[in-house]
Amino acid sequence: MADGQDWWRGSVTYQIYPRSFMDADGDGIGDIRGITDRLDHVASLGVDAIWISPVFPSPMADMGYDVSDYRDIDPVFGTLADFDEMVAKAHALGLRVIIDQVLSHASDQHPHFTESRASRDNDKADWFVWADPKPDGTPPNNWLAIFGGPAWQWDARRRQYYFHNFLPEQPDWNFHNPAVQDYLLDCVRFWLDRGVDGFRLDTVNFYVHDQMLRDNAANPSPWAQEAGRPFEMQYTLFSKNRPENLAFLERLRALLDEYEGRAMVGEVGDSHHAIELMGQYTAGDSRLHMAYSFEMLGPDFSPGHFRDRIEAFFKHAPDGWPCWAFSNHDVPRHVGRWLDHGADQDALARQAAALLLSFEGSVCLYQGEELGQVDTALAFEELTDPEGINFWPDRVGRDGCRTPMTWEAEAPNAGFSTADRTWLPVKPPQQARAVSTQQGDDSVLAFYRAMLALRRVEPDLRLGKTVFLNHDDPVLGFLRGEAMICIFNLSPEAVTVPLEADLDPLLDQAAEVSGRSLALGPNGFVIGRVT
């Protein structure tokens, strides 16, 4: 396990989606004992930490991102004793443990919301965001929910609307109430005292709303009108991204600083100013340690895009720190998104690993990407995700990237579960890429291990500053630190690249160095030292 307060700088974290990682009790749903059983695989990759998506008690309207109790484990995943055993084994294997904290909203089954909605004058009456209707009975403003429809739900008991950025079953906390902040900080302390090493903060820029409840303006961007999701048609100046967020983040950072070696990474999701927000949220040493970005979770696979995002972050936050990812539980897997740019699936998967793991900042990997997986194609009747159900067929939702991890190709459900039926199906294309099939030296899994090992032993790859080289498309080249050079051909066509200095390759694919000339085949790349 990496030592010191700054272990998170340049770290690599492996995201585990508990429902889909490993089912130890045979009910078709992954659980904490299953995670514990498979931690040796994660440790063998050479990552620094694991991030566990929510395992708290929840009605599962949004698969655990609707929390009804912040200080316990949902029985579907196990017990607090199971959680403690998992943390102990992770630490013994040299892995730090980061858990999701969903602080912006709760479940409508949370006891504090049950009390809050009972009347306008109880102890929890203003713990959530309530507002009177307009004289015509409509909601107090035009704010929209991400999953569709207004962001306001009428409650007959209080004869008021309550605010929800996501599902109606996910009411937003009122962060303008200091007692709410104190309660949530106490919930965070509960897990710090239990030994976790940090937190991934879900929707960290959604915490605070505008107290005046001013309308959001229309988003004039043409893409917003074509996005297929009304939420994108607004410029969300008042429903999220409020400057008061920073004061709460400073309280949260002060709490973590009471403990040695703890860190937090905030998920900054925004269609307009994500990079600028990441800079604000990580500036100095009193806010987030890292900001998790959606900037590389889209369809763009071009040298200009990657260069622009990295340069923009360090321009806006010269003392901040990003955490980059290509895939997670909310977006289509990157190999599938970028297949048009690949010579074949394996070549693209290896190149993407080399690319991401050579970027300046920290990195998150999502379970299954070390196998080169793409999304599972699902029928409507197989969906569980409210986004997919609500927006089908234009948007198929997130279930395709959440299907179970595949371990043994010949086993039922690819070794994920002994159940007759799993919560999402395991299908042949995913089963064919099980861990058991990737034991050869040329496998995607073997490459991830090799690339992670190189990042560990080369300080410049973890912490070196980046200087981009002026190559023409489709080539992306940059220096890291004093002597590391990384050059990528982001296309399925061969290219030749002139070199300004001699190059000693350390890890490559479809690459040949001849003097001051570098030949890169389809999805070719080289990572090496300038000599």
Query: Which residues are annotated as catalytic?
Result: 202, 258
CA distance readout (Å), 409 to 159, 414, 426, 434: 56, 5, 11, 5
Q: How far is CA 440 from the centre of its chain?
A: 29
Beta bridge partners of 290: 265
Task: Give the C-alpha separation, 476 to 471, whole Å.
Answer: 6
What are 23's two structure tokens?
């089912």
Q: Measuring CA to CA, which residue among 63, 170, 160 is closest to residue 108? A: 170
Crossing angle of helices 345-356/444-457, nearest 10°?
Answer: 20
Task: Give the C-alpha separation, 428 to 474, whole Å.
Answer: 33
What are 377's two structure tokens?
């194609």
Cα angle 27-32-36, degrees, rounded to a multiple of 5: 115
What are 316's two structure tokens?
């806006």
The string of DSSP codes covering 287-341 is S-SEEEE-TTSSS---HHHHHHHHHHHHHH-TT--EEEES--TTS--HHHHTGGG
What are 312's two structure tokens?
């923009």
